[in-house]
Amino acid sequence: MNNLEKLFPNVMDLKVIIFTETLATIKMVVIAGAIAFLIGLVLAIGLVLFRKKGLFPNKLLFQLIDSLVNVFRAVPFVILLVAIFPLTRLLVGTTLGLAGSIVPLVFATAPFFARQIESALLDVEDGLIEAAISMGCSNFEIVYRVYLREAIPGLIRAITITLISLLSLTTMVGAIAGGGIGDLALMYGLRRNMLDITYITVIIILAMVYLIQFSAVLALKKLNKGEKKNEKVVN
């Protein structure tokens, strides 16, 4: 105990703050992740259906979604964050705190999610889609009974990668909107020169990354019965 206190002198004093900020980060990841997933999913399904060889080819809609996704992915996060301040304020009434963080995080993550989900959906073999058409399935059935179902392992990988990247974005958003683990590292680790706080934030982040990957591995393993062996979680 004594040694621990020597190594981490400030951690014990600030444990309540550390706890609440960790919780804040988790909230950001979960809420922004869930909203971004839903938006990304819709965009990805659009990309897959509207593409030239899709079930519902539509050049205009495809290009609209495609360029939307590209633009939002191209803008560096910090700039995006600032650029959409007015929109953030309009949507949630503030640019600070949890609510203020969620909006830019969603904007940055949804396009990333869309690309990841798109690639998971495109991994579903065309032959399966054709088989489903030949069995008289409607487009709607094909999306939810074939594309989404067969892409589940790919979707889990997409979620893993995206959540980890979202986690790192939350630290940046913390610096501007306030809150979360990134904020903690800046406020105490950097400004007050509490080195041990910086270290503890690193440990917490690593633990979260590990937790995300571990859950993904577990989920994939559970599914693995039906899938080829040696599926790896990409990071």
Partner 1 sequence: MFELKEVYKSFISEGGQVEAVSNVCLRIDKGEIFGIIGSSGAGKSTLIRCLNLLEKPEKGKVIFKGHDLLSLSKKQMRHERKKIGMVFQNFNLLASRTVFENVAFPIGTKTKSEVKEKVLALLEIVGISDKVNNYPNQLSGGQKQRVAIARALANDPHVLLCDEATSALDPQTTASILSLLKELNEKLNLTIILITHEMSVIKSICHRVAIMDKGKIIEVDTVINIFTNPKKPLTKSFIQESFNHKEIRNLIDKNKLFKENSHLYEFIYKQESASKALIATLIKKYQLEINIIAGKIEIISGESIGHLVIIIEGEDKSVKSALRFLSSQGVLVKEFEENE
Give the footprint of partner 1 on this chain (CB under 8 A): 125, 127-128, 130-131, 133-138, 145-146, 149-150, 152-153, 223, 225-228
Least distance in angstroms from the C-beta of 131 to partner 1? 4
Least distance in angstroms from the C-beta of 153 to partner 1? 8
Q: Which is nearer to partner 1, 78 or 137 (CB)?
A: 137
Q: Which is nearer to partner 1, 111 or 154 (CB)?
A: 154
Least distance in angstroms from the C-beta of 194 to partner 1? 49
Q: Which is nearer to partner 1, 155 or 205 (CB)?
A: 155
Q: Is 135 exposed, middle or buried (0-12, 13-18, 19+ CB in 10 A)?
A: exposed
Inter-residue contact 115 to 161 (CB < 8 Å): no
Q: Which is nearer to partner 1, 79 or 126 (CB)?
A: 126
Least distance in angstroms from the C-beta of 36 to partner 1? 25
Interacting residues of 117 by C-beta distance below 8 A, sequence separation 6+:
40, 41, 43, 44, 151, 155, 158
Q: Read off the amino acid at residue 74.
A: A
CA distance linking residue 94 with residue 91, whole number of Å: 8
Inter-residue contact 46 to 61 (CB < 8 Å): yes
Least distance in angstroms from the C-beta of 59 to partner 1? 16
Which residue has 């904020």 as its token pair? 183
Q: Which is nearer to partner 1, 76 or 126 (CB)?
A: 126
Helices and strands, number each (H, E), in the chain: 13, 0
